[in-house]
Structure 1
Amino acid sequence: MPVNNPSSVERFRLAIIILNYRTPQLVIDCLKSLENQVEVGQDQVIVVDNASGDDSVERLQQTITDHQWFSWVKLLPSAVNGGFSAGNNLGMKAVEAEAYLLLNSDTIVRPNAISCLLEAWKTHPQVGLISPRLEWPDGTPQISCFRYHSPMSQLIDAAATGLITKLLQNYDVPIAVSNLPFEPQWTSFACVLVRREVIEDIGFMDEGYFMYFDDVDYCRRVHQA
């Protein structure tokens, strides 16, 4: 399945998709953290405004102009708010790239994080999705890798006791942060690198999910493929 019409869209190495819904300042802070990490001509940032209905489009466009970011940032207003999946799909369909980075508007990208992701993408060609370590502003790691929900995980939630959680830790949905790369069943799509071949193979995200469970569904589809 082609991602887009190659005759009408320039091909980039990396396309970073940032979805905005009434959080223009968060997007601006995120873009500032990307400014020295993208390569003009090779990488493209697409900011999709999900029909915010406020002054987001005007503020974002003015900031792009003021900082002269127009060589690597494009603003794409959506006529409707179709949710997380639809907004990201709109951004991915707007640009041809070898890889797509879905990035939440409330993220600040650490220095060299993009180059690290691209290095992992190059050195592990068999990997379809790559998720980085997520951290709180003080550096404390965030839980961002998970197991699928199961009857045993529901038992853990229902019991809500440390003893049960410890006894059944191999079934608990959240997975403790590791300092070594590993393959979880699914990861948070607050930041995830998607290889182009994955989209060509299984398609875009399911727009039936307005918000939440879209990452679980897509990871499951990737595993199945």
Structure 2
Amino acid sequence: MRGLRVGQGEGVPDLSVVIVSYNVQRYLAACLESLPAGADDLSVEVFVVDNASPDGSAELVARRFPDVRLLVNAENLGFARAVNRALALTRGRYALLLDPDTVVPAGALTQLVKMADRSPEAALVGPALHDPASGELQPSFRPFPSWRTAFSHYTLAKPVLRLWPSPRWQPVVDRPTTDGWLIGACLLIRRDLLNAIDGLDEQYFLFCEDTDYCRRVIRAKRRLLYTHETSVFHHEGKSAEQERPSAMRLVALQSLLHYLEGEGRGKARVLKPLFKILFLANVLSQCLESTLKLAAYALMARREQAAKHRRRLKRNADFLRRFTFRFLAL
């Protein structure tokens, strides 16, 4: 990692970068290679936590990036536990959670730290995230999810609730705010916040841990800052793609329900069973719809459309077959 000013000895580095990796060797290498230019004026320490990747990611880091502090887990502990393991070792004025499928443009992290230095009221700072291929802005700052969000996006209540849509994300909020949460793909954390608030909730294996962390920050009367003046490229979801879609669907639902329980257990006791019923009913209705459309498109020899609904049917049927009872037990 030539060109990176590695924080050493008793001095406090400007930035501690924490990357949790699972089975994304190619993306991880590109991410690490982008850091020297991305943090050009900063002293930096870099931690990579490998969650038992079978693709040789840990070996690659040890061989090609000797300045990186490599932590190797014997099993996949999930994102939150892996992050907390590294955060406990960091020394920087700021810590940065960085996904392994990101690429940092030249000067981006330097700019992010300067923005945080100019905004001491912001405990967390996040940049704009862009797709590397198209340059399109990704959701980078979103309103907090609610039970209404869950019902409108995942259940049979969707057609009714979508008559009164709510924004899924806000593209630009260049001021400290308490109105939403920052995506954890690139999240700058002030040192005093790390000392004041516990790390990520380890009951989340994957998904929603960043949402929950932002909620706890705001409940502690701190503020967030999302800035479009700095941007990072994000391939998005490459670690999650390593697992079966139906398994990731269950993990996402489990995390969402755990998050929503934090909005009040009384409300959750009423709405959680209803959500489960309407979610499964929605999956069954999608299976029926896909079956009918698959048959119709097959008769019309429209292969592309038929293949689309065959995949959708397979995905939903796989979830119902493998995870219905586990979902109901959440």
Normalising by structure 2, report the TM-score.
0.57
C-alpha contact (below 8 Å) 1:10/1:95 kept by paired residues: no
Q: Which amino acid aligns with 2:165?
A: L
Residue 217 of structure 1: how far off its partner (Å): 0.9
* Match of residue 44 from structure 1: 45
Structure 2, gaps ≥5 residues long: 1-8, 221-330
In 2: Cα distance, 1:9 partner to 1:24 partner: 32
Please give the secondary structure, in 1, of the residue aligned with 2:103: coil
Identity across matched positions, percent: 30
- Computed over aligned residues only, the root mean square deviation of the Cα atoms, in angstroms, reads 2.4
The separation in 2 between residues aligned to 1:223 and 1:95, in whole angstroms, is: 23
Aligned partners of 1:150 and 1:133: how far apart in 2?
23
Residues 143-187 of structure 1 deviation map (CA, whole Å, 9 limit, x = unaligned): 1221122244345434358972xx433xx3x21312744634212
The equivalent residue for 2:20 is 19
Q: TM-score, normalised by structure 1?
A: 0.82
The number of equivalent residue pairs is 207
In structure 2, the CA distance between the partners of 1:110 and 1:36, relative to structure 1 (3 Å rule), is closer
Aligned partner of 1:5 in structure 2 is none
- Helix, strand or coil for the counterpart of 1:51? coil
| Equivalence for 2:31 | 30
Partner of 1:147: 143
Is 2:169 aligned against 1:168?
no
Distance change (3 Å), C-alpha of 1:154 and 1:64:
closer
Q: How far apart, CA to CA, are the structure 2 residues paired with 1:10 and 1:129? A: 23
How far did 1:40 drift? 8.7
Q: Who is 1:122 aligned against?
A: 117
Query: Is the counterpart of residue 217 in structure 1 residue 216 in structure 2?
Result: no
Shift of 1:95: 2.2
Deviation at 1:19, TM superposition (A): 0.9
Given that residues 21 and 49 in structure 2 are in contact (C-alpha distance below 8 angstroms), is that contact kept between their aligned partners in structure 1? yes
Amino acid at match of 2:137: P
Residue 97, structure 1, aligned to residue 92, structure 2: yes
Structure with bigger gyration radius? 2
Q: Secondary structure at the match of 1:200?
A: helix
Out of 123, 128, 131, the residue aligned to residue 136 of structure 1 is 131
Pick 1 or 2: higher relative contact order, CA cutoff 8 A, min separation 6.
1
Which residue identity does 2:158 align to in structure 1? Answer: A
Q: Could you say what secondary structure the match of 2:187 adopts?
A: strand
Aligned residue runs from structure 1 range 156-195, under 5 A: 156-157=152-153, 158-160=157-159, 164=163, 167-169=164-166, 172=167, 174-178=168-172, 180-181=174-175, 183=177, 184-195=179-190
| 1:176-223, Cα deviation, whole Å (9 max, x unpaired) | 312744634212101100111111111111111111110111011000
Q: What letter corresponds to residue 140 of structure 2 in structure 1?
A: S
Q: Secondary structure at the match of 1:128?
A: strand
Residues 161 and 32 (structure 1 numbering): CA distance in 2 closer, same or farther, change over 3 Å?
A: farther
Summarize deviations over 1:50-81 as a string: whole Å, max 9, x none: 1224422212211115xxxx2xx222212332
In the TM superposition, structure 1's runs of 4+ consecutive aligned residues that sit over 6 Å from their partners are none
The 10-residue stretch of structure 1 (153-162 or 95-104) with the greater mean CA deviation from structure 2:
153-162
CA contact (8 A) 1:34 1:109 kept: yes
Structure 1's unaligned 5+ residue stretches are 1-7
Task: Show the counterpart of 1:58.
Answer: 59
Q: Is this contact kept in 2: 1:82–1:207, CA < 8 A?
A: no
